[in-house]
Chains A and B, each alone.
Chain A
Amino acid sequence: MSDNTKLVNHNDNEIHITSYVEHFGTWISLILLTFMTVFISVFGADLNTLTVATALFIASIKALVVAYYFMHLKYDPKIYRVMIIVVMALFLFFLLMLVVDYLTR
């Protein structure tokens, strides 16, 4: 099957068939990132206080990969990306204010 074949359904919405290569590549990257997370937490990579931050960073990359490829954000209209960004911004603001509260209490 050809890469990223575009079809048009009866509602004039473009639908996509993603190639096996892309699916497989996404899966491999998720597996590698999972191994990295396990290595850092279990096998004692000495990152001290950065351990949690690193795990969160890797988890965020995994979430982005899933959203972008598996959930087809890559092919959706830009408005969906804007929505995701707005939600992420709200979440980051929540974390920011929690940190402000904790560090200045």
Chain B
Amino acid sequence: MTDSSMSQPSYLNIKKGLFSWIFTLDHKRIGLLYLYSVGAFFLVGAALGVLMRLELLNPGGDLIEAQTYNQVFTLHGVIMIFLFIIPSIPAVFGNFFLPIMLGTDDVAFPRLNLMSWWLYVIGALFALSTLVFGDGPADTGWTFYAPYSVKTGTNVSMSVLAAFILGFSSILTGLNFIVTIHRLRAPGMGFNQMPLFSWALYATSWIQLLATPIIGITLLMIVAERMLGIGLFDPSIGGDPILYQHLFWIYSHPAVYIMALPAMGIVSEIIPTFAQRTIFGYKAIAYSSMAIAFVGYFVWGHHMFTSGMSGPAAYIFSILTFFVAIPTSIKVFNWLATMYKGSISIEVPLLYAVGFIFNFLIGGLTGLVNGALAADVHLHDTYFVVGHFHYVMFGGTGFAFFGALHYWFPKIWGKMYNKLVANVAFAIIFIGFNTLYFPMLILGIMGMPRRYYDYLPEFHSLNQISTYGSWILVSGLLLMIYNLIRGYFNGTKTTDNPWNGITLEWQTKSPPPLHNFDKAPELVKGGPYNYPNAIDGSH
């Protein structure tokens, strides 16, 4: 750590030129490289989503063919899951803010960090190459279920290799964060003095480290099955397709928490700042992150209730699934209790955080419906699952990502966006999001299956509403992006601490200097959220 009275230049100005960015070892610049990358892929994924909604505006294949539709939803899923949601918060905001929040000058392995980003880029190129090579993108869905993924003529091998490479990027980021948290905390900062975003990243990193290798091997098994016909998953040559589902979901269910836990960490940062009071139940929130990460390993079978898995296994997985709800609801109650009697200032980041809680509650509760064995038999592979999933992933993680972007925007670039426009954009996004996805829950209960380009006439009106919602949502997203870009170029200069936050990132300059701090940051006595003017200092 730099401990001098000399003021260092901002990390944005220390060097110029493309190479100073793409070969940088500075965690902040690497965070921004991820931001621009995942942001670009988010737009691609969103465009594919809108295309699907346009096709579903009316029954019949009046815009794209069935096969094209299958490829579009697969590419949408692969891009959104592997290229946007999984790396979004950890790789962007984790990279940028974890070292600063811990009071150190970089992650433990800066070169490994850069390599993670390069692996991400290479993986992304592999995924996009399916558009131009072979017989086009995979048409299997992002889950690559066997035996179809073994038999289809589309470019499955390249798609799963992309996911394999992206997995390595994820593993290395997780490893880097674990070592950083263990070894580089500021002197005097114990685990229980860490900000809750760090705790969330810590829990996430363990999942990345332990679960991702399984999907890597499983996807290679798909390639081996396609090329060598080993007989792992294809029943016609002695394989077992349900084994593939076990192997896939033992990673992919914990991966849901790779996506959700960092979002919860963001909310845990935003709420105390805008309530200006100590977070309620610090340890409960911190340890519940670890509990979610741990319990998340035991519930993968709830994705397979109708796959042919045995009854007793299904009972066990259904019971275990309900345990995840406990640490999750602990967090929600603690966030609400933090706001209770707080000095709340309703700023844009808080709106996104509250929007997260609203959407995530719907996503979480519909998840319990899916986890209930009898209900899932009816709802499995219907639009109810699509609605639930998007409420958790977009309504949850997406909203938290946007909240973090607005929360830390002045710290990252030293400028402020137009708050009025940001408020309007939030309102449009919130309305558009719920108009788009809530009808899906009803459609699912009515029995509309997912992954079809056509549907029965009785589903028409709700599909129309859903498509109109996608237009509202996109207009809100475009307004938000325009406002942020305008803020970047023309925003008013902001102070170092515009939100009166007290975690360590608010002690340094906006934008931060290359080594993060001009002088060693001072830890807040009594914990990272011990606001001096809080009405109620209870923990």
Contact = CB atoms under 8 A, between A and B. Distances in A.
B364 interface: no
A94 B316 CA distance: 13
B250 A94 contact: yes
Nearest to B214: A94
Contacts of A105: 308-310
A48 B174 CA distance: 43
Contacts of A101: 242, 246, 301, 309-310, 313
Given A90-B297, A93-B297, A105-B308, A100 B210 contact: no
Interface residues of A, number: 12
Contacts of B297: 90, 93
Interface in B20-46: none
B394 to A, nearest CB: 29
Interface in A54-105: 87, 90, 93-94, 97-98, 100-105
A104 B250 contact: no
Nearest to B209: A87
Nearest to B246: A98
B239 to A, nearest CB: 14
B310 to A, nearest CB: 4
B457 interface: no
B188 interface: no
Contacts of A98: 243, 246
Contacts of B537: none
A104 B210 contact: no
Contacts of A97: 246, 301, 313, 316-317
Contacts of B246: 94, 97-98, 101
Interface in B291-323: 297-298, 301, 308-313, 316-317
Interface residues of B, number: 16
B316 A104 contact: no
Interface in B239-282: 242-243, 246, 250
A93 B298 contact: yes
A100 B242 CA distance: 13
Nearest to B242: A101
Interface in A25-41: none
Contacts of B308: 105
A87 to B, nearest CB: 6
A100 B312 contact: yes
A7 to B, nearest CB: 20
Contacts of B309: 101, 105
Contacts of B301: 97, 101
B108 to A, nearest CB: 13
A103 B309 CA distance: 10
A22 B301 CA distance: 44
A104 B313 contact: yes
A41 to B, nearest CB: 19
Contacts of B243: 98
Contacts of A87: 210
A67 B309 CA distance: 35
A104 B298 CA distance: 19
A94 B210 CA distance: 13
Interface string B225-250: 00000000000000000110010001
A100 B316 contact: yes
Contacts of A104: 310-313
Contacts of A102: 310
Contacts of A100: 310, 312-313, 316
Nearest to A79: B182
A55 to B, nearest CB: 19
Nearest to A99: B313
A101 B241 CA distance: 13
Contacts of B316: 97, 100
A93 B210 CA distance: 14
Interface string B180-199: 00000000000000000000
A102 B310 CA distance: 7
19 contacts: A87-B210, A90-B210, A90-B297, A97-B246, A97-B301, A97-B316, A98-B243, A98-B246, A100-B310, A100-B313, A100-B316, A101-B246, A101-B310, A102-B310, A104-B310, A104-B311, A104-B312, A105-B308, A105-B309
Given A87-B210, A98-B243, 7 more contacts: A93-B297, A94-B246, A97-B316, A98-B246, A100-B313, A101-B242, A101-B301
Interface of A: 87, 90, 93-94, 97-98, 100-105
Q: Which 7 A-B pairs have the closest CB atoms?
A: A104-B310, A101-B313, A105-B310, A104-B312, A101-B310, A100-B313, A90-B297
Interface of B: 210, 242-243, 246, 250, 297-298, 301, 308-313, 316-317
